[in-house]
A = this chain, B = another copy of it.
Amino acid sequence: YRSINHRVDSKSLWLYRWYYSRTCQWILSLTITVILALAFIEKPSSLTVTSDVRYRLPAWNPPCGLTESIELLCFLVFMVDVSVKSYLVGWEEFWKNKWLMAYILTLIVSLTDWIVSLSFLCTEDVRVRRILRPFFLLQNSSMMKKTLKSINSTLPEMASVVLLLAVHLSLFTMFAMLLFARTKDGQQDKEWMVYFRNLPDSLTSLLVLLTTANNPDVMIPAYSKNRAYSIFFILFTVLGNLFLMNLLTAIIYNQFRGYLLKSVQSSLFRRRLGIRAAFEVLSSLKEAPANAQQSYVDVGALQQVLQKVEMDSRCKQAITRSLKVCSCDQLSAAQFQKLFEELDKDAIRQHPPSPDYQSRFMQKMQFAFGHPYFGYLGNVVALANIVSICVVLVMDADKQPSERDDFFLGAINCFFILYYLLEMLLKILAMGLKRYLSYPSNRFDGLLTVILLVLEIATFAVYGFPHPGWRPEFIGLLSLWDMVRLVNMLIVFRFLRIIPNMKFMALVVTTLLDLVKNLRAFAGILVVVFYAFAITGIMLFKGAVISMYIKKVVVLSFKEKCGFMGLFCYFQADVTYCLLYLLSLNLICRWAKIYFVAWWLISSVIWVNLFVALLLENFIHKWDRRCHREPLSDIEYQRTVELMFRDVLEEPTEEELMEKLHQHPHLQLCR
């Protein structure tokens, strides 16, 4: 599915293949991961087990030069990467490609910053290159670049709604300041004192109300003075939260409705173009008769090429097979294209057959334990296990740890784990090992059963068999109680195997899994943004300047539905410092406010809405498909986005393909 706009002489082709080989791409990904992970061990980091300042040890501080040398290595890899890429696209294309230029610029800035950093012996405060780091992640993924482009095209409309929100906010702020003005009677103006003292305060109060964080608190003083004041707050919330915020969702959804389809369409176009280009190249090798209107490809030559090409072995087999079936000597463009449609088809995974047993007894066994009802029985037993654990938990809830008797739970778990083992063995007996392993649900089951068994045997080996009053002392790595807890958690986790058995749940879960696949690009962009924000935050509020105020904002922000969690994790350590620095808060406050509002807008408002839009798109598509045709239950397709849109995709026409090919910068076709 890659673009074919690269040099095509044989040396460049070799380089191209080498560059896109698995090893090279893997090295590149590793480098990106390493450079991003550096932030966790670099100096102002706070990666400790506990986040409580009272208990935690000082974080490990790497000596100057260690992280820097790792960084230099990474930069070298990136420099090789960018030069290969630039060489491959060629000089003319390079000037058109903004991403490549930005890549080079970033590298130059980073290297300069690195040199400055070394010359100050790592004591300088501002490190620009850290904020630039996520760019390396961004430029390496074509999906992310594409997503960014379509987010970019949504921005103008989002900006209008955000502008509308701003107008809404400022008008209501003025109303509020006029409504809750300072009265002559000093006792009655609690509202004014706390929330609407001056313009920035009022704006903040209402902005936080928009995030619903201070929802009842902000109106309580006014409300207890006169109930009618609540009208103001209700009006503000309904207009802002219910209408404008949801309007943002509607706009983003509207923009993204065609997004998936369009991206899949362009991938298809690129693949068809690549195949067509191969056809043209192959056909131009042979001296065509002068009067031939159409070009043809020799079957023999194609077979030779096929031997050398690296591709999925299944596809290769399928293509050679159909080449033999075809039995003609020459292939036209259409036939050639059709031949490679095999690439689009997904593997239809057939489960291997069950073993054929000779004895009647074994056949009966096979029928009994291969039957779906046996699976249902397993689910019922798993449910019973969950219920029993639940009962024990409720009973033990108020007991002191010293009074707790682990015998009952131990015995029950022992029994259930034996049943699980038996179930697994019987299923393997009935289906044969290969067929058993070909079902993902069985793999999940089997793996957990084996782990449970190992844990149980380990428990018995260390603490002996359960008996009443089984409360041994702490021995070895984990206490008995921890072992039992771990086993129980695994049992609860194993209970998830019931999901595929419930039709609606299965639909939901497959939707979610598909979504996760499609969301990778979005998640990547979120990581990029988050990383930049976290680094900026560390630089802005480092150490001494964290104030009580930020803690308040952070805590308030968390009432919001999403996203802040991560930022929080990162900040929590430094925020607890704040009690010590109550004084120096005035200047930094304003910056913190702007910083957090920006973060709220990006993470909570925009990203969540993007997520909702994508979920709606995915789910509605899936739902429509489900209504149209019942899925074949026996054959499991490997679901891909292409498959999902198979019926709505348009094939590119011959003319479009040829036009695009003639625009190719490096490929000079004979005609």
Q: Interface on A for B, CB 8 Å cutoff?
A: 48-52, 157, 160-161, 164, 167, 171, 174-175, 177-179, 181-184, 197-199, 212-213, 215-216, 223-228, 230, 233-234, 237, 241-243, 246-247, 249-251, 253-254, 257, 386, 389-390, 393-394, 397-398, 400-402, 481, 485, 488-489, 492, 495-496, 504-505, 508, 511-512, 515, 554-555, 558-562, 565-566, 568-569, 572, 608, 611-612, 615-616, 619-620, 623
* A224 contacts B389, C-beta separation under 8 Å: no
* A489 contacts B212, C-beta separation under 8 Å: no
In the assembled complex, the Cα of A489 lies from the Cα of B401 at a distance in Å of: 64
- 12 new A-B contacts, CB < 8 A, other than A171-B496, A216-B558, are A49-B227, A171-B492, A174-B386, A177-B393, A198-B397, A241-B561, A242-B562, A243-B515, A246-B615, A247-B508, A253-B620, A559-B559
Among B242, B492, B558, which residue has its beta carbon within 8 angstroms of that of A178? B492
* A247 contacts B164, C-beta separation under 8 Å: no
* B224 contacts A397, C-beta separation under 8 Å: no
Contacts of A161 in B (CB 8 A): 508
* B224 contacts A52, C-beta separation under 8 Å: yes
Contacts of A565 in B (CB 8 A): 215, 230, 233-234, 237
Contacts of A184 in B (CB 8 A): 401-402
**In angstroms, how far is the closest chain B Cβ from the Cβ of A95?**
35
Beta-carbon nearest neighbor of A177 in chain B: B393
* B227 contacts A50, C-beta separation under 8 Å: yes
* A253 contacts B616, C-beta separation under 8 Å: yes
Copies of this chain, count: 2
Q: Known contacts A213-B559, A250-B615; decide if A179 and B223 are in contact (CB<8 Å).
A: no
In the assembled complex, the Cα of A224 lies from the Cα of B575 at a distance in Å of: 12
Contacts of A254 in B (CB 8 A): 619-620, 623
Central interface residue in A178, A213, A485, by most chain B CB within 10 Å:
A178
* A216 contacts B568, C-beta separation under 8 Å: yes
* B612 contacts A243, C-beta separation under 8 Å: no
In the assembled complex, the Cα of A611 lies from the Cα of B251 at a distance in Å of: 15
Q: Can you list 15 A-B pairs, Cβ within 8 angstroms, ordered by A?
A: A50-B225, A51-B224, A160-B508, A171-B492, A174-B386, A174-B393, A175-B492, A178-B488, A179-B489, A198-B397, A216-B555, A246-B611, A247-B511, A561-B561, A616-B616
In the assembled complex, the Cα of A195 lies from the Cα of B304 at a distance in Å of: 69
* B398 contacts A620, C-beta separation under 8 Å: no
In the assembled complex, the Cα of A213 lies from the Cα of B612 at a distance in Å of: 21
In the assembled complex, the Cα of A47 lies from the Cα of B240 at a distance in Å of: 28
* A559 contacts B212, C-beta separation under 8 Å: yes
Beta-carbon nearest neighbor of A161 in chain B: B508
* A178 contacts B616, C-beta separation under 8 Å: no
Contacts of A52 in B (CB 8 A): 224-225
In the assembled complex, the Cα of A259 lies from the Cα of B389 at a distance in Å of: 46
Among B171, B223, B390, which residue has its beta carbon within 8 angstroms of that of A51? B223
Beta-carbon nearest neighbor of A482 in chain B: B181
**In angstroms, how far is the closest chain B Cβ from the Cβ of A423?**
21
In the assembled complex, the Cα of A511 lies from the Cα of B228 at a distance in Å of: 28
**In angstroms, how far is the closest chain B Cβ from the Cβ of A516?**
9
Beta-carbon nearest neighbor of A617 in chain B: B250
Among B171, B492, B561, which residue has its beta carbon within 8 angstroms of that of A174? B492
